[in-house]
Structure 1
């Protein structure tokens, strides 16, 4: 499939998706959201892809936000539809993808850009990255999951301050509050992402997918996460990958997943 706003690069079992709208600082518009959805859906079905990296093309921005000119004249109903479609097609979709997604934040990750990064399974950043949710300065609130995911990641008080002030965090500040796991010079960002993704890809794909599902259960108020863990733990025992993994351990060899 041909894409206009994203670039795909596969290295072994790892797919890197670069958002490529340099003139707009990689801002998310509806066509880009659709392209990301399609690329991620295809990757999730591809048995040769075991981990995904999302980053921004160039050196200035991961994603500088949503494309404001696209919805500046929307009314309330259109705004709700925009947010719901975004949740369904991209942000909730990424969070619940069975293939792990790493956000490699290179530069600005603002508004919808930070919301995309937060929907990934974890985040790393370059030392020039800046992150924030500036929506209230535009008379609106985060609409792609920011009000929900940011408190889960950094705590309610810190999230409230960041959302209500519309301030930005530096990469180091984001690491200190747990929003990102690693901060490295920009030239080391994608190599680190590749290293982490390759490590994940070497593990049991079924177990990784089950772990994602189980960890995500803690944010579902209708689900008892501990019961979900017990159930999914037991399910793993019935898989060929459990047999291979335990056999490899006992035989002192690397597993062949």
Structure 2
């Protein structure tokens, strides 16, 4: 029933797109629907976090189209790059999301790039947020291609993308768009409880699967409810059978990093 409703909504969007007066970003009450909107607008932002040589955490907001890394570019380019994407109702400082980001930053050899698409993933707008995953993913791809063009030595294919819930599907769309543009896809994608509603019966290219990266690992924690039940990576982990996490509120950031096998 949910999938059928999604299909009707998608058909409605297609009909709107055909219409000559179609607006690329539509406001639907508190929700925003973004279809082929310019990636230079304020709907999506890209944050760069890294630890400087004096162990101080640095934060920069990079340009969506022509991002340029900070002045100590040679030092940064020698580090590992993580692209972290929040899910439905998320933002850059939501607790679990921030825990993983800060845990990575304890390693001085790691740079964290955060995709902030919170305006397109806000509560209570799940249907539009699900559709907006494609826009967020394609804009993330455009950002990373801009990183390659503006920062010699940076390669989008070397990025390890980590997506929460709907963010896992955003990573999928980003990798597919990069592959279409350059012939290479993400070296690795980690899907953290990839979202189920509207993605249960979606076609392969509309959801995270093992073809989206050179290596795709998936951790299922709420399978069959909000998260996908079927395996969708090269390796799938089902914590406590993938469904209920009684000690989740007590989880420490280093436990997440252990699971991701940094």
Same fold by TM (over 0.5)? no
Give the TM-score normalised by structure 2: 0.34
- Asked which structure has the greater CA Rg, the reply is 1
> Hey, which of these two has a bigger chunk of strand by percent?
2
> Hey, which of these two has a bigger chunk of helix by percent?
1
